[in-house]
Each structure stands twice: as C-alpha cells, then as structure tokens.
Amino acid sequence: MSVPEPNIDPQELAHFDALASRWWDPDGTFRTLHHINPLRLDFIRRRAPLANQRVLDVGCGGGLLTEAMAGQGAQVTGIDMSEALLSVARLHLLESGQQVSYRQTTVEQFAQEAPGMFDIVTCLEMLEHVPDPASVVHACATLLRPGGHIFLSTLNRNPKSYLFAVLGAEYLLGLIPKGTHDYQKFIRPSELETWMRRAGLSLAELTGLHYNPIAGSYRLGAGIDVNYLVHGRLPGGAHEG
C-alpha cells in the first residue's frame, strides 16, 4: 500500500522557512499579520469563548494567533509543517511565558491521531497555501468534537482580489513579500462552503476582512471580494447553540 503524499507545497514551505526569523517583528515582513491578529482573536472569542477549551491552530506558523488564544485561557495545540517556523514559535514561548504545544505534522496526519479531540479548530490564512484545501477542511472537521467551532479565513478568487492581494499588496505597496500568494490557489466562498458541507460542517457566518494600509488596521464588514472569514459548526453536542 502506497503512502499518500503529504498535502504540502515545497515551494510554499521554502518561502516561509526563509522568512521565519521575521515572524514576530510587528513592523517587519509580517506586519499585516500583527495588524489583523487582534481582530481575528476578537472574532473567535465572541463566538466561541476560549477559556478552558481545547483549541487546535492549523498552519500556526510562528505562533501569533496560537499564543493569543492561549492568553485567553485556552489549551492550545499548534501544528505546522515548517520546522523553521515552529522553532521560532517555541523560542517565543520563552519570552511570552504562554503554554502551547507545538507539533510538526500535517492536519491530515493529526486527524488520524486525535479525531474529535478539540472544541475549536482555527485555520487562518493557510488554505490558499496547500495543494488540496478541501482535504484540510475535512481533516479539521474530523478533529472537532460534536458541537465544536471552526474558524477559517482565506482569499476570494476574482479580478479584484488579484489586483488587491497580489499586485497591490505584494508589488505596489510591498505589504507582504513578493511570491507569498498564488492567485490560482485563491478560494471562492462557494467552493469553501461546498467543502465544509461535504465534511459535515454547517456555515454559521461569513464576513469580509478589509484592510486600510494607511492606518495599518483591519475591520470586518460586508463585501467578501478579497479577504474573508468564516465561522462554522460541527452539528451535535449538548451545548450547541
């Protein structure tokens, strides 16, 4: 029996490995992640209180959101395939004092080890970086307990998103490194909703994420043409509601 190829893109992995040391610089290469982090944390905790919950952060990178959720009292596990980023994440724990468990594994592999083990699964700004995002969504659903919450974010695929997220953000404004995004991997909301439904997840909320490069801030709002954020549920569970 052949072992399936891991759901990773070696070029994507090399791209982020090379930038790993800059992850926690709020004014550096990943400054837009620092700008968006308070908003996405607030979005999560208002819909799924984090204290004492078992949380999995898929594609955790250097641990920006992972640590923030731990700071809200969650029991957090972060997984990623970049050893360089995980090294940065583990090193930052010495500075922050937060408690996080980090693992180098794909979400598909982890789903085989820990099905139904998590109250909340987050997978933010990651789906557009893998060859098979539908497989990631399915594995995330497998890891959730009945009644659990899932939070996903990615980029829509249309001419406006190419203009804003690739040409604008990477080449004109230099907000993120060139080559960060492959437009062909962007995901329409209808595609993501289909993958969620096939994985047994229900869509609870879909909202747009809008960036102001002058203010260096994000806001939630109508319009999902570029960045968007999704809250879903796995049906079942005594406390679903």
**What is the number of structural domains in the chain?**
1
Domain-located, residue 66: yes
Weakest mean pLDDT among 1-5, 57-61, 203-207:
1-5
175 within a domain of the structure (yes/no): no
Helix (H, G, I), strand (E, B) or coil at 30: coil
Q: Which residue range(s) make up the domain with 55?
A: 10-154+186-233
What is the pLDDT averaged over residues 61-89? 98
Is there a domain that residue 132 lies in? yes
Asked, for residue 240, whether it belongs to a domain, the answer is no
162-169's contacts with Cβ under 8 Å and 24+ in sequence apart are 162/186, 164/226, 165/226, 165/227, 169/32
Mean pLDDT, rounded, of the chain: 94
Among 42, 92, 45, which Cα is nearest to 64's? 92
Q: Say if 160 falls within a structural domain.
A: no
pLDDT of residue 241: 46
Q: Using 50, 70 and 90 to split pLDDT, how confident is the model at 73? A: very high
- Secondary structure element (H or E) that encloses residue 66, with its range: helix 64-70
Q: In the prediction, which pLDDT does 2 show?
A: 40
Q: Is residue 168 in a domain?
A: no
pLDDT of 83 over the 90 cut: yes
pLDDT in tens, 152-201: 999 999 999 999 999 999 888 888 889 899 999 999 999 999 999 999 99
Within a domain: residue 102?
A: yes
Total-model pTM:
0.94
Percent of the chain scored above 70 by pLDDT? 96
pLDDT digits (tens, 9 = 90+) for 130-150: 999 999 999 999 999 999 999
Taking 70 as the threshold, does the pLDDT of residue 223 lie above it? yes
- C-alpha 13/C-alpha 46 separation (Å) is 32
Q: The CATH number of the domain where 200 resides is what?
A: 3.40.50.150
Residue 173 domain-assigned (yes or no): no
